[in-house]
Amino acid sequence: MYELFSVDWPPLSFALPRDVWHAVLPLAHCGGWQPRGTNPPPGYEVFAAALDARTITQIGVIPWHEGYRHADGQSVIGSDACALANGLENMLDDIPAHDVHTADCNLLELFSGPKKDSLRRLITFMRLGAFTIHECTDIYP
């Protein structure tokens, strides 16, 4: 489970399964979103700066990946969050309103039926601005 935490509106957050987050990204891309890259989590620069070139070569540390798929505490800036929301919103009309129950559903069918409303709530959350991406460690009842 992943949890997105609002930077500008704490303690607002949005939780979603990892596989759903991984499907949201290509869906937004199909809707025109051009990823701008993420900012590293707090402390990453300190960790990277403490390593010398020899240590980096030995342990294979690479510069920040700027990715969205992993939940490393990285942040998505406000303008990118809005662009991500726009990309998802651009795809809403193509998502079936009825629930599609097939094992091999496509990306649009994955968000069909009541999941389309969840996608709308995610879009609303992203419009609040910058957010961070975290792995949920708590188990909710």
CB-CB neighbours of 127 under 10 Å: 14
Q: Each residue of 11-55: pLDDT tens digit?
A: 999 999 999 999 999 999 999 999 999 998 887 765 555 566 555
> How distant is the alpha carbon of residue 4 from its chain centre?
7
Q: Where do the domains of the chain lie?
A: 2-135
Residue 135 β-bridge partners: 2
Q: Each residue of 64-105: pLDDT tens digit?
A: 678 999 998 999 999 999 999 999 999 999 999 999 878 788
pTM of the shown model: 0.85
Q: Is the pLDDT of residue 60 over 60?
A: no
Q: What is the pLDDT of residue 98?
A: 93
* SS3 assignment, position 56: helix
Q: Each residue of 98-134: pLDDT tens digit?
A: 998 787 889 999 999 999 999 999 999 999 999 999 9
DSSP 91-124: HGGGS-SSPP--TT--HHHHT-THHHHHHHHHHH
Question: Residues with Cβ < 8 Å from 104, sequence gap 6 or more?
Answer: none
